[in-house]
Amino acid sequence: MTDNLLADLRHLVQMTSGSGLRWHSHERVDSADLLHDIVAAPLVAKAVTRYAYTGTGPYAIGRVTGANLREYLLPRLFRPLDLHNPAWHCCPLGFPFAESHLFLTTSELARFARLLLQEGTWEGQQIIPADFVRGLTADPVTTGYSAHLSHGYGFGVWIGRDDTFRMDGAYGQFVVIAPARRAAITVTAHSMRDGDLVEAIHDLVLDRLTY
């Protein structure tokens, strides 16, 4: 078995696969097949030994399942959340980028926040297994970053201070889950100061809630 095959799903989602290819969904795709570039890229570190923020892992998972990720999620996740036709930025071959560029309004994004806070339950239906939601933060990796990114990275989510975790998007897009406070905060903004915005969410909202 090659080292490439040892990079399991967790390594791909946690961005610890060791792949030498760094790519993000805001970058233009010039190759004939991005997945080929991901698979062909040499490993520069042993899996799980180094964190490197990249969109390659989620995109690769979305491809190797054999199904279009958006089509797969429509009946299983999007429609139960009353998202009937969500737009998702795709590569030239028509596959969603997976790691980002899912276009949602603030209220639509807040449904994901509530879903995670309720451990995968929506309107009495278990959409995502509760154990899976709890596992998002069970085994975080060290990122080497500072400030609001210094608490570690879980299974596709950032670990925050005070027993919180987050889904982050560029320029002030945040979902902050605080299970102990039974609270979820959703923010869509245009901000170049993401760290300050995260601190404001904690200082002005979450810290004022009682346990």
pLDDT in tens, 68-119: 899 999 999 999 999 988 999 999 999 999 888 999 999 999 999 999 999 9
Q: Name the CA radius of gyration of the chain, rounded.
A: 17
Give the tens place of pLDDT for each residue, 149-201.
999 999 999 999 999 999 998 889 999 999 999 999 999 998 889 999 999 99
Whether residues 111 and 90 share a domain: the answer is no
Whether residues 55 and 110 share a domain: the answer is no
Is beta strand 102-103 parallel, antiparallel or unpaired with respect to 87-88?
antiparallel
Is beta strand 173-178 parallel, antiparallel or unpaired with respect to 183-188?
antiparallel
Q: Name the domain boundary from 71, 103, 135.
A: 103
Domain tally, the chain: 2
Other Cβ atoms closer than 10 A to 54 = 18
Whether residues 88 and 37 share a domain: the answer is yes
Domain containing residue 44: 1-103
Distance CA 117, CA 113 (A): 6
Whether residues 34 and 52 share a domain: the answer is yes
Predicted pLDDT of residue 84: 86
Give the tens place of pLDDT for each residue, 201-211.
999 999 998 76
Q: Name the domain boundary from 87, 103, 119.
A: 103
